[in-house]
Amino acid sequence: MKSTGSRLFLGSVLAVVVPALVLHYTAEAGRRGAGLTVPPFGWPRVLVAHLACAVPLGWLVASWVRTIPAVRDSARGPWVGGGVVLCGLGAVVLPGFGEGIVAGEVGSVAALVLRAILALGLVLPWCVTFAPAGPQLPPGLAFGIGFGLAVLPCGLYSHAVIVNRTELAREQLQRERLAQARPVVLGLCELGSEEPFGRATPHQVLRHLDATLAKLERAVERPLAASAPVTARLERATLLVRLNRLDEAIALLAPLAGSDPTAGLFLAGIYRDRNRWAESDELFTAALDHFGPRSGNDAHAAEMCRMAYEGLAFNARQSGRPADAERVLRAGLAAHPTLAAFFHYELGRHHADGGRPRQAARHLQEAARLDPTRYGEPAEMLRRSLLTGPYGCSLPRP
């Protein structure tokens, strides 16, 4: 690798790949199992984005460092070793940075700048290893351009991740998947998210989840009598689902599902989480057959139908059947006018995911009009994300 272009390419690849792999696979196993990476980067894609965006600034700084005679004449091997050692050190100290950001409720801008600085430190040894001597631009201009590249694209990308993961966490919390929601909320806090959950900040939600999950763990340790009634078994299954102990919940609910429609609906939701689409669809459909005829004048039956339609639409989307998802939602809208706000909101989300922003916006506006308390804020947030997306210019402004 003698040419400058080859050295720059090799250095850029190593500067991103080595720190990303070392930091991710030395992160706590529980974080990796939950889809997170080393703090304070939250998710692996955010870590990679920061490392990649820090490389141009790394080359600029490295070119200045290479003008120092002692560095210019030094062997490249120690810099490679230093890069690996720095990655190992990062695996040890970065969790402390993440804890500090979460505990201090650091805002998104400060967290972004801190991540950019950390990423620069991680890529710099690799850039120094392969960099030519001497900056090609005036130092002030070069640093400004490099710092802008290290921060601004990652700021936009982090915001997109925050919006996406906030929506996921809201859905998990609404379905009381508390243990599943906890790492998502933690990642949002590490990114400095300021997107609210109703009236609560992500940090307040995280503290609430920590306290609640600790109580649930204590409660579920109490033995359940073999003669316990169905209501007690359903309550225990609810605790297990909140704790993401799904296999235990399935074992408890499966014997009840055939005779108790509520238990069947509950089990359908768990099969949904396990990607057991056919079994889940069968139980959701059975719940609709049972609760549908009396949903018009029974609020409980209507809520059970809402959950069943939501589950069927989710299953269809996740198993690659978007047309079936839309068909389910439109059928529900026609059959259950009292749930119109819910169906309009879900159709808005469905069209947004499918790249049909005008249809999405119409359904979201209707959902917010019909039930502003429940859907006003989430519908407006999703509509704002459509306005700032690639199709935003085609949408009518309010």
pLDDT at 93: 94
Phi-psi region of 13 (alpha: psi -120 to 50; beta: other; left: phi over 0): alpha
pLDDT at 207: 96
pLDDT at 395: 47
pLDDT band at residue 134 under the 50/70/90 scheme:
low
pLDDT band at residue 141 under the 50/70/90 scheme:
low
Q: How long, in residues, is the chain?
A: 398
Mean residue pLDDT of the chain comes to 88
Pairwise CA distance, residues 95 & 141, whole Å: 34
Pairwise CA distance, residues 383 & 379, whole Å: 6
pLDDT band at residue 130 under the 50/70/90 scheme:
confident
- DSSP readout, 241-269? HHTT-HHHHHHHHHHHHTT-HHHHHHHHH
CB 350 within 8 A of CB 317: yes
pLDDT at 391: 45
pLDDT at 120: 93
Pairwise CA distance, residues 341 & 200, whole Å: 23
CB 38 within 8 A of CB 23: yes
Pairwise CA distance, residues 84 & 281, whole Å: 50
Q: Which residue has the higher pLDDT, 338 or 137?
A: 338
For 285-313, the pLDDT digits (tens) are: 999 999 999 888 888 999 999 999 999 99
pLDDT at 390: 45
Residue 247's identity, in one-letter code, is: D
Q: Is the pLDDT of residue 162 over 90?
A: yes
Q: Return all residues near 375 (Cβ < 8 A) that are at least 6 apart.
A: 341, 342, 344, 345, 364, 367, 368
* Span 198-217, average pLDDT: 95
Provide the b/e sequence for 291-323 (b: ≥16 CB within 10 Å).
bbeebeeeeebbebbbbbbbbbbbbbbeeeeee
- Distances in Å between the alpha carbon of 65 and those of 50, 71, 72, 133, 143? 22, 7, 8, 8, 13
pLDDT band at residue 392 under the 50/70/90 scheme:
very low
pLDDT at 182: 97
Q: Three-state DSSP class for 104?
A: coil
Tell me which of 83-97, 131-145, 260-274, 335-349 is least confident.
131-145
pLDDT at 61: 86
* Span 256-270, average pLDDT: 92
Domain with CATH 1.25.40 in the chain: 223-306
The CATH fold assigned to 223-306 is: 1.25.40
Q: What is the signed CA dihedral for 134, 138, 139, 140, rounded to 10 degrees? A: -170
User: For the whole prediction, is pTM greater than 0.75?
Assistant: yes
pLDDT at 385: 76
Q: Is the pLDDT of residue 317 over 70?
A: yes
pLDDT band at residue 378 under the 50/70/90 scheme:
confident
For 59-71, the pLDDT digits (tens) are: 888 888 877 777 6
The secondary structure element, H or E, covering residue 379 is helix 372-387
pLDDT at 140: 60
pLDDT at 247: 94
